[in-house]
Structure 1
Amino acid sequence: MYRTLAALLLCALAIALPASARDVPGELTTQLDAQLQANRERYGIAGQAVLVAHNGSVLYQGTSGERDPSTHAPATIDSIFAAQSVAKLLTSTLVMQLVEQDKVDLEAPASRYVQGLPIAWQEISLRDFLNHSSGIAEYYDRKGEHWVSKGYNGLAPDLAAALKVAGSAPMQFAPGSRVQYTQANYLVLTALLEAHYRKAYPAIARERILQPLKMTSTSWGVASVPAQRAAVPYIGKDGQLQPANEDPWPDYGWGHADLQTTVGDMNRLLQALATGKLVRTATLETLWQPQKLTGGGSNFFSTGWDTTRSDGYTQVGHDGGTRVRARLAYKGSLASGYWVFVYLTNGSARNVWSSTLVESTMAVAAPQEFPHAVLSERLIGYALDESTDATQAMRSWLRDSNGVPTGELERAINADGYAIRESFGARKALKVFALNSELYPESANAWDSLAECHAALGEKETADRLYAKSKALAKPSP
């Protein structure tokens, strides 16, 4: 099966579509339908709904699988998926509106706007809370199958209590020095919004985002979703799907979790942002610049949006765990054109990361625009292809026509190898790491990753030999 799927997708990816893909809608639909089916078979996806748009035009909407495997109810475009932390995009947008109106200053301490924050948090900037670089602790821990706040049988009963739990723990690091994704950061933002508007967070989000954009299928909490439209969450365990049975989040946590939505509603949100309907595009382009960390490097969150820069594009969005992702991509400025990718699933047997799924659609919809996504998809196909001539074909493509700048190729192949290892195991990823070491025999990093993969397979002798080779290459010349 893997060989057949790989051959089908390599053929599809070989067809170079125009940048907008609007000239071949029928062909694009066929190719993306094939990609969704391939993803479902590769990763054991229960059900999925996908939308791709370019410059305001929806190029593709498609589904496959079941929104409820227990009843075999099919996923549809109108199915409502648990998007979880995509909720943070609404919260970030509401804060960005206040920034644009000069009502809040991202560099000012959040305590200027929120009364009663813990003493240790008094000087932490609003930007650090938005970008998960505050250093504060979480307001709950995992206890068995449930989330529990310290001192309570379950989660803290209200927002003030939850903030007190987080504040009672030691700071994890100096604010602004590094990143630690923490839901408690967004409790502070929820408190800020409620203090400013003097109403509950859901009412603020409805009035300022959901209602103006007619996002009528978006809400919070599983209980808010009609049973006939609910995509029931599943999780992978030992390669098999099983019901996720997730605890609902309290309503004070809706600023960071428990969002329920459709591909159409997420498209409305991203389209509105891309065209300046919620926040001016010039403001967004400024706020989506990377934050420099005092510990070195840049934060991969920009005003709370997961941000990458690849193929000349700024790509912003957020995931909802491994299951869902919404992404907006633009080159230079939003006015010069933008892409929207929304990929919603209700779980997969392999718990495949949502960025892999989104990039598979980017590779098909606009291969000339997103060569790194094409590389990722080609390498996945290669890892799963058991034919004897696959390696030579892959070498030739990497040498002649992959589209990724030479200086970025080794690192990109290496990163894709780790993603493949996560989804399919070390044995499948071994092919990719071995190929990278063949292509870049003087790279200490390539040999180190190959050694690590052999070690994961229990092949200690081979791993030790390769680690020694990597170490020797890493030594500076005398």
Structure 2
Amino acid sequence: MNKSIFILSFLSLTISCFSQKVESSKKDLKQQIDNYLKETIEVNEIPGSAVAVIKNGRIIYEHYYGKSSIDDNTLVDENSIFRLYSTTKLITAVGVFQLIEKSKLSLEDKISKYLDNLPKEWQDVKIKNLITHSSGLPDIVKFEDIPYNLDEKEKWIRLYKKPMDFETGNQYSYNQTNYCLLTKIIESVTGLIFEDYILKNQFPTVKKGVVYSANASEFISNRVTHHVFNFKKNKYERFNADHGKIHNSGSGLNITLKEFIAWNERLDKNILLKKATKSLMWKQFEFINKKDDFLYGWSIYSTNNIKSFGFSGGYMTAFRKFTDKNITIIFLSNGYKFFNVEEKVINHLAGIVDESLIDKKLLVEEEITTAFFKNDFAKAKQTYFVLKDENSTLHFEDVLNMIGYTLMNNDRLNDAIKVLEFNLEENPKSFNAFDSLAEGYFNNGQLEISKRNYQKSFELNPENTNAKEMINKIDELLKSQ
């Protein structure tokens, strides 16, 4: 064989081997993602979900799991439409910045520039305060006399009479009023119905797979059912609440995974916003309290000092961009049995795709949580002690407390008490561990032992007003017996 032929043959073999390794690596990565998602779905009995991972502009993982509707026995597929709930706010934020980019709106504009007859206390609130949840306005969803089914005009009349929550700009406080007002402002500026403005400017060529509706009972072809687990009946039931059109900008977008992927691609390619405008949107807002962290419409996260931006909604959907790593992860689901997993799934998948994004504490906490929900109590404790020994620098009081409360909220009170007793054994000097266990005993009707635990909690932390109030409440109950 002459030298040139030998070199070409060697190069061909090398490239072939490299390609095989790359393909093997891709398959291994997909298998890791698949294995993790299947276990998470199994443990939490998630009815259905759709997941995508995008790296360097390419879809490296896209998969559809389970049922879009348990009652109808239909499967999730690429045509399935998921309601994003509050993840919708990301799309609304982009819509606001499109107007800023066109000089039709400014973050420094007072909302009174666009809206008439506002209360005096609302006059100086600015666009930037709405989009960063720093407005201090009363939250429209937190008042019993402003139910979802109330006429919209009457909602505003009643809300205008409510007091401010805090000084505008002082702090972050998640608030649905902010996005209800952004709807009205966008409509005032554009002369378009809010939904038409968003669809025209962010989904201009989309014919199906994107629709606004905050009404879970409304029939929309291919929309997945929002399932809520009824522990008394031990089965999933359909969630049918109508939150009203007023909440479309904050929680009403319904979309397929494929259209969400395409939206992300337009965002990445600077079609929706220029690069400089995105940088402005992903800039940290300066709160007066100097404590809170939030961007302009986007949450900010940190994993091993690596920043990521995104949001989650309804405890079922999440979208996250790890911009420095050029990774985007989308998680959509339609229910959960025990506990919401959307943020944990995002973080875990990020660590699978890029080792620098592995959150060791998160992984261990996931293993502990899975153990207590998947196994009996004795086996779960064994798993816990093994993980504790392997991770001696980590502390697990919070995760045990969370497991206890999750079980308590899911009508597994006896199991919850076992976990909370175990948490106290592990953390005998924690006022919070005593407080949580006391709540478990109280819910189980064990008033005397509940009182003793509240008293111990109060001794460890005299500022624990909850413990003091509960001691008084228990005393009154014991007197009446």
TM-score bin (small chain): 0.7 to 0.9
Q: Which amino acid aligns with 1:308?
A: Y
Change (3 A) 1:53 1:434: farther
1:241 matches 2:246: no
Match of 1:191 among 184, 194, 208: 184
Deviations 1:101-134 (A, max 9, x none): 5554434422234444333311112222123332
Change (3 A) 1:112 1:376: farther
Change (3 A) 1:360 1:248: same
Larger gyration radius, structure 1 or structure 2 = 2
Q: Which amino acid aligns with 1:73?
A: T
Aligned to 1:347: 335
Aligned to 2:126: 125
Unaligned runs of 5+ in 1: 1-20, 150-154
Aligned to 1:65: 66
Q: Which amino acid aligns with 1:188?
A: L
Aligned-residue Cα RMSD (Å) equals: 4.0
| 2:224–2:334 Cα contact (<8 Å) kept | yes
Structure 2 counterpart SS, 1:255: helix
Percent same amino acid among aligned pairs? Answer: 23
Q: Which amino acid aligns with 1:240?
A: K
State TM-score, norm by structure 2.
Answer: 0.74
| 1:215–1:265 Cα contact (<8 Å) kept | no
Aligned to 2:138: 137
| 1:82–1:259 Cα contact (<8 Å) kept | yes
- Structure 2 CA distance for aligned equivalents of residues 231 and 27 of structure 1: 30
Change (3 A) 1:349 1:219: same
1:369 matches 2:358: yes
Tell me the CA shift for residue 229 of structure 1. 1.9
Show the 5 A alignment for 1:27-426. Answer: 27-100=28-101, 103-139=104-140, 147-149=148-150, 155-156=151-152, 163-211=156-204, 216-221=208-213, 229-238=222-231, 239-247=234-242, 249-250=244-245, 253-274=247-268, 276-280=270-274, 283-285=277-279, 287-291=281-285, 293-294=287-288, 297-298=291-292, 301-322=294-315, 324-330=316-322, 334=323, 336-350=324-338, 352=340, 354-356=342-344, 358-359=346-347, 361-362=349-350, 369-384=358-373, 385-386=375-376, 388-401=378-391, 406=393, 414=401, 418=405, 422=409, 425=412
- Structure 2 CA distance for aligned equivalents of residues 258 and 247 of structure 1: 10
- Structure 1 CA distance for aligned equivalents of residues 161 and 273 of structure 2: 36
- Structure 2 CA distance for aligned equivalents of residues 419 and 215 of structure 1: 41
| 2:421–2:437 Cα contact (<8 Å) kept | yes
| 1:97–1:279 Cα contact (<8 Å) kept | yes
Tell me the CA shift for residue 258 of structure 1. 2.0
Tell me the CA shift for residue 163 of structure 1. 4.2
Deviations 1:421-454 (A, max 9, x none): 5567555555665565555555444454454445
- Structure 1 CA distance for aligned equivalents of residues 451 and 238 of structure 2: 41
Tell me the CA shift for residue 463 of structure 1. 4.4
- Structure 1 CA distance for aligned equivalents of residues 230 and 30 of structure 2: 32
| 1:352–1:423 Cα contact (<8 Å) kept | no
Change (3 A) 1:351 1:416: closer
Structure 2 counterpart SS, 1:148: coil
Structure 1 counterpart SS, 2:366: helix
- Structure 2 CA distance for aligned equivalents of residues 130 and 184 of structure 1: 11
Q: Which amino acid aligns with 2:66?
A: G
Structure 2 counterpart SS, 1:176: coil
- Structure 2 CA distance for aligned equivalents of residues 233 and 359 of structure 1: 24
Structure 1 counterpart SS, 2:77: coil
- Structure 2 CA distance for aligned equivalents of residues 247 and 114 of structure 1: 26
Structure 2 counterpart SS, 1:134: coil
Tell me the CA shift for residue 211 of structure 1. 2.2
Structure 1 counterpart SS, 2:84: strand
Change (3 A) 1:270 1:350: same
Tell me the CA shift for residue 274 of structure 1. 4.8
| 2:149–2:242 Cα contact (<8 Å) kept | no
- Structure 2 CA distance for aligned equivalents of residues 415 and 204 of structure 1: 41
- Structure 2 CA distance for aligned equivalents of residues 338 and 431 of structure 1: 44
What is the aligned residue count?
A: 437
| 1:290–1:298 Cα contact (<8 Å) kept | no
- Structure 1 CA distance for aligned equivalents of residues 443 and 346 of structure 2: 28
Change (3 A) 1:468 1:162: closer
Unaligned runs of 5+ in 2: 1-21, 464-481
Change (3 A) 1:52 1:291: same
| 2:338–2:406 Cα contact (<8 Å) kept | no
Structure 1 counterpart SS, 2:60: strand
